[in-house]
Amino acid sequence: MSQPDPYAELKQRQRAMWASFAPTALFTTPSAGHLVKFAGIASGERVLDVATGTGVVAITAARAGADVAALDLTPELLEEARENARIAGVPRVEWTEGDAENLTYPDASFDVVVSQFGHMFAPRPDVALSEMRRVLKPGGRSRLRPGRPSTSSDDCSRSSAATRPRCPRAWLRRRSGVILP
């Protein structure tokens, strides 16, 4: 029997907070296209979009011909995602309410795992990244898009423990081995 999630209450508060994100999602659309392109998502690949929000990455990947599953903690955002997919004429996305720290997919299920911004809000990013790695097929690709660091990438590559919060790209690369855009 698994242990209760020590962050369940925090996740419940996050779920309520993110329910009002949909109007802001307009600003995430351009970077969704860049993430899908950077990930090299191709027709026929099985793709997981973790913390999909309003679904802009999932929809973009599906329009590229991928077989897409998209997961988010917040039901209201998934409703927006379903509507966005309907408007875009993309019926083939599997939308799932779920937790990035406890993915319900079998091991080695996806050719590509992507997350635009949401993964960095997990209470335990290392757990979320481990789950993303678990569901990735051997030789698969994982691409994350964290918020922009406030310093140049050269500065981030030499970041210390004191600068990690300002340099998520370098910190995540060292922590997870995940390739970032």
What is the pLDDT at residue 24? 57
- Shared domain for 84 and 114, answered yes or no, is yes
Residue span of the structural domain in which 83 resides: 8-144
Say how far apart CA 46 and CA 179 lie, in whole Å.
Answer: 18
What would the mean pLDDT of 15-38 be, rounded to a whole number?
67
pLDDT at residue 3 tops 90 = no
Band of pLDDT at residue 175, cut at 50, 70 and 90:
very low
What is the pLDDT at residue 8? 76
In 3D space, the residue among 143, 147, 149 whose CA is nearest the CA of residue 178 turns out to be: 143
Residue 153 lies in a domain: yes
In 3D space, the residue among 120, 113, 135 whose CA is nearest the CA of residue 169 turns out to be: 120
In 3D space, the residue among 142, 147, 94 whose CA is nearest the CA of residue 118 turns out to be: 147
Residue 83 lies in a domain: yes
pLDDT at residue 154 tops 60 = no
Residue 2 lies in a domain: no
Gyration radius from the chain CA atoms: 16
Angle at 8 between CA 116 and CA 149, to 5 degrees: 30
What would the mean pLDDT of 93-100 be, rounded to a whole number?
96
pLDDT at residue 20 tops 80 = no
- Shared domain for 158 and 70, answered yes or no, is no
157 membership: H or E segment, kind and range? helix 153-157
pLDDT at residue 141 tops 90 = yes
Cα–chain center distance at 171: 17
Band of pLDDT at residue 31, cut at 50, 70 and 90:
confident
Residue 49 lies in a domain: yes
pLDDT at residue 9 tops 60 = yes
- Shared domain for 89 and 126, answered yes or no, is yes
Band of pLDDT at residue 25, cut at 50, 70 and 90:
low
Band of pLDDT at residue 130, cut at 50, 70 and 90:
very high
Say how far apart CA 115 and CA 81 lie, in whole Å.
Answer: 15
Q: Which residues pair with 107 in a beta bridge?
A: none
- Shared domain for 162 and 106, answered yes or no, is no
